[in-house]
Amino acid sequence: MEVQRVQAVANSLALATDTIPAEFVRPQQEQPAITTFRGPVPEIPTIDLGDPDQENLVRSIANASKEWGIFQVVNHGIPTDVISKLQAVGREFFQLPQEEKEVYARPSSSQSIEGYGTKLQKDLDGKKSWVDHLFHKIWPQTCINYQFWPKNPPSYREANEVYAKYMREVAAKLFESLSLGLGLGRHVLKEAAGGEEIEYLLKINYYPPCPRPDLALGVVAHTDLSAITILVPNEVPGLQVLKDEYWIDAKYIPNALIIHIGDQIEILSNGIYKGVLHRTTVDKEKARMSWPVFLEPPRECVVGPLPQLVNEANPPKYKVKKFKDYAYCKLNKLPQ
């Protein structure tokens, strides 16, 4: 079956058009023009990861994860040129002719999410999202399938390997602070999420310019399946988070990383930390891109509320289950 890519749909629309195919028009209760909050709003916290005051850093990360489930980090230690190269090679991949990108298409028979693609299922209401993507794992080495790493541009592999190396240090620091913020030992949370076997799944989102950004959505509202997600955006804003029932825009901060608390940290912390509900809007003139890395427990890892955080006054709020079973239910929209 030939899958139509959103990038091809966008290219086929006449330049001056102000319509999009009906399957991309979201129902009114989701349309960004109607549902985005346009008043004074509190800002997603920005945290200095280089803060020498360790207690302050832990407190800031814990508070942001309790109140927001999302924060931006600056002074994270990843050099600017490492991030720029990651972005440049991803951008070049999406600029390749369609048939070159299709070489990396996710095989329809595949059990894995890896590869170039477009969300195949329509939503329950029959609607589609204005975004294409490329998924591949970047760590640990034993999980990597280079079949899905573009060979063009030739520096794609090196740029991703260098980014993965630096990004792992950021991940380690986040896990430690989150663990200390729960009053636990610094290694507890990372070990519970799979330790050295945690899988780092990179996704590149490509949101083509859209003639009706008021009606369409990129990625629809969801929380992440991951433990933590570490995201690099390009300069085109579009990420929105639900805070106190309002959809609010995330500010673009050059060179900052956006950290999402995912479902697995919410579960391990027995709901003390919150997985953030988020979605993306698209732009009329510019392509938006983002590079989330989902830090996921290995498939067989059993995840449930940490016993240290559960007692009579705080009974477990979540089931204990293997990550693969949690993922299956989530992806198939089944109750957990």
Task: Please report, as ranges, the residues that interact with ligand AKG according to CB under 6 A.
Answer: 203, 205, 219, 231, 233, 239, 278, 280, 290, 292
Q: Which is nearer to ligand AKG, 228 or 306 (CB)?
A: 228
Alpha carbons 251 and 237: distance in angstroms, whole number? 7
Active site residue 76: no
DSSP for 225-274 reads: SSSEEEEEE-SS--EEEEETTEEEEPPP-TT-EEEEE-HHHHHHTTTSS-
222 is catalytic: yes
Set 224, 243, 249, 274: catalytic member: 224
- Please identify, using beta-carbon distances, which residue of 57 and 174 lies nearer to ligand AKG: 174
For residue 150, is the peptide bond before it cis, meaning its omega torsion is within 30 degrees of 0? no
Q: How far is the CB of 204 from ligand AKG (least distance, A)?
A: 9
State how far the Cα of 302 lies from the Cα of 300, in Å rounded to an integer.
Answer: 6
**C-beta of 239: minimal distance to ligand AKG in Å?**
4
* Closer residue to ligand AKG in complex, CB, 94/270: 94
Catalytic-labelled residue, pool 128, 190, 203, 274: 203
Residue 272: Cβ within 10 Å count: 20
* CA nearest to 228, candidates 257, 207, 249: 257
Taking the least distance from each CB to ligand AKG, the nearer of 213 and 305 is 213
Q: What is the smallest separation between the CB atom of 55 and ligand AKG, expressed in angstroms?
A: 31
Tracing tokens 């992440």 back to the chain, one arrives at: 224
Catalytic residue at 203?
A: yes
CA 55 – CA 95 distance, rounded (Å): 45
Tokens of 135: 């998924």
Pairing of strands 288-296, 228-233: antiparallel
Angle at 306 between CA 300 and CA 312, to 5 degrees: 135
Cβ closest to ligand AKG, residue 7 vs residue 290: 290
Mark whether 260 is an active-site residue: no
- The nearest distance, CB 250 to ligand AKG, in angstroms, is 7
- The answer to whether 226 touches 187, Cβ cutoff 8 Å, is no
Return the ∠ at Cα 267 (arms to 261 and 270), rounded to 5°: 110
**Closest residue to ligand AKG: CB criterion:** 290
Cβ 18 to ligand AKG, closest distance in Å? 24
Catalytic residue among 222, 251, 317, 324: 222
Nearer to ligand AKG, 73 or 182 (CB): 73
Give me the torsion for CA of 164, 161, 153, 136, rounded to 10°. -60
**Residue 74 CB, nearest approach to ligand AKG (Å):** 17
Largest Cα–Cα distance of the chain, in whole Å? 63
196, two tokens = 């050295």
Least distance between ligand AKG and beta carbon 290 (Å): 3
Closer of 78 and 180 to ligand AKG (Cβ): 78
Instruction: Give the whole-angstrom CA distance, residue 150 versus residue 292.
Output: 17
Contacts with 289 (C-beta within 8 Å, 6 or more apart), sequence order: 87, 90, 91, 94, 204, 205, 206, 207, 233, 234, 236
Q: Which positions are catalytic?
A: 203, 222, 224, 278
